[in-house]
Structure 1
Amino acid sequence: MTRSTAGAGGGLRTADVVRETGYSAQQVRDLERLGVVPPAVREPNGYRVYTAVHVRALRAYRGVAAAAGPVEARRLLTDLFAAPDPTAAVAAVNAVHARLAHERDEVLRALAALDAVRDEPPGVDAPVPDVLTITELAGALGVRTSTLRFWEQEGLVHPDRVTSLRARQYGAAAIREARVVGALRTGGYGIPAVREVIRSLDTRAGVAASREILGRRLDQIAARTLALLRAGADLAAVLDPL
């Protein structure tokens, strides 16, 4: 049971927090239990009394969850309140910003690869860039070499094998495939959907469809980045007293 009036000391009841954050009363209690916000003060009658810090922490959680997922958001907020360390919290937010920037860069590179395909005159092969080894390509994409091998097994990326040891080498077409696959997989697309995109890259219509998918991916990254920026303001308000 909640009351919608503020406590005598200027505190907030559960209903006030619900109104300010958009969470349900049960969600507020659950997030408090998980340590996403510090424990509320309890009055003698058992009512919870929250403060503005709880509201800002819940808003920060929502923004970080939208940007990086609820697991990382819970970890950041619970670590902050369990052992207050503003420097670590700021570093964690910076890491999310860096990851979003990397995701955006990879989508832009994938789009550039698609543009190169689109602009090729019919019947003319694209110029071949420096050939990359599996280690070099994995480093460029920020993935493990085992990930590239898995993509190959699934028919998503098609490297050349040019040595007696059958070592993989990635030319223009394989690098293009890997960039597109990486951008789509990071965006949550499953293997069957990505396979269909890769199969369509040999056609102009397929390139256009792939560009549309990657354009939506850029929009999603922009929305997540904006959510993180909003969360930063709320997180700063929580950190200031610490």
Structure 2
Amino acid sequence: MMRLSTAEAAAASGYSHQQIRDLEHTGVIPAASRRANGYREFDEVHLHALRAYRELAIAVGPVVARRTLSEVWNAESDVAAALLSALHVDLMREREQALDALAALRAIGGEPDAAPADAMTITELSAALGVRASTLRFWEDEDLVHPERVTARAARSYPPAAIREARIVAALRAAAYRIPQVHATITALRSMAEIDGPITALESRLGAISERMSVLLRVGAVILELYRR
């Protein structure tokens, strides 16, 4: 079995000395043994674990990858398998959300323009979208939706253009897009009056999720094999 110093493990894995010490200290890789002089000593299991962390971070992000691996190495075998399986569930949920949003955007794009009489109140629109009225007011504050103000009490009225924006915002938020990303999309839509941009973005996102799923399948098998050693 190979015996590697921290410097040798760094050279073999592509991580810096400090990164390896940090990953070992936080439990992201198994604990290193110690030489008589107190220095860390690594072997091929640690190298495989370092590479597995790099791939897992690609699949689920570095924060989740660090948290998961720090739990896996110290868990019972059934718990370790469950922790990795949960990552697949999360990715599948992310894929389903993106598919739902894509379907929603395509449906919106295929509908004829609504007549002015189709304007809705905030209560009607919140019910149609399945969100709270306070959520619509928040979207308005974030410049995502532009309702009109009518009546002496300045009640909100959502004309067809605002309804369309609200539906697109709801679809993108359901796909876990953050407010700044949604704002960028809505701003682009207002300038080009069509939805090919966000559809293309969602299609690209689905492709990326598919690649991450493949990586997760591959690295999950590696991690479980390392766990059994």
Could you tell me the TM-score, scaled by structure 1's length?
A: 0.68
Aligned to 2:79: 88
Aligned to 2:88: 97
Q: How far apart in 2 are the matches of 1:20 and 1:14?
A: 10
Q: Does 1:224 align with 2:212?
A: yes
1:57 touches 1:238 (CA, 8 Å); kept in 2?
A: yes
Q: 1:101 offset after TM fit, Å?
A: 1.2
Structure 1 residue runs without a partner (length 5+): 1-8, 139-143, 160-165, 167-171
Which one-letter code corresponds to 1:42 in the other structure?
R
Q: For residues 89 and 155 of structure 1, do their structure 2 counterparts lie closer, same or farther at Cα, with a shift above 3 Å needed? A: farther
Q: 1:178 offset after TM fit, Å?
A: 0.6
Q: How far apart in 2 are the matches of 1:91 and 1:135?
A: 38
- RMSD across aligned positions (CA): 3.8
The C-alpha deviation readout for 1:153-202, integer Å capped at 9, x for no partner, is: 4343689xxxxxx9xxxxx854443112332616x85453144256468x
Q: 1:26 offset after TM fit, Å?
A: 2.5
Q: For residues 85 and 25 of structure 1, do their structure 2 counterparts lie closer, same or farther at Cα, with a shift above 3 Å needed? A: same
Q: How far apart in 2 are the matches of 1:133 and 1:20?
A: 56
Aligned to 2:184: 193
1:62 touches 1:231 (CA, 8 Å); kept in 2?
A: no
1:59 touches 1:234 (CA, 8 Å); kept in 2?
A: no
Q: Is the deviation greater in 45-54 or in 145-154?
A: 145-154
Q: How far apart in 2 are the matches of 1:221 and 1:41?
A: 37
Q: 1:235 offset after TM fit, Å?
A: 0.8
What fraction of aligned residue pairs are identical, expressed as a percent?
41
Q: Does 1:69 align with 2:53?
A: no
What is the SS of the residue equivalent to 1:185? coil
Could you tell me the TM-score, scaled by structure 2's length?
A: 0.71
Q: Does 1:207 align with 2:159?
A: no
Q: 1:30 offset after TM fit, Å?
A: 1.8
Aligned to 1:240: 228
Aligned to 2:9: 17
What is the SS of the residue equivalent to 2:80? helix
The C-alpha deviation readout for 1:26-74, integer Å capped at 9, x for no partner, is: 2112211222122212222444321222122222222222222222222
Structure 2 residue runs without a partner (length 5+): 119-123, 148-154, 156-162
1:156 touches 1:181 (CA, 8 Å); kept in 2?
A: no
What are the within-5 Å matches in structure 2 for residues 98-113 of structure 1? Answer: 98-113=89-104
What is the SS of the residue equivalent to 1:233? helix
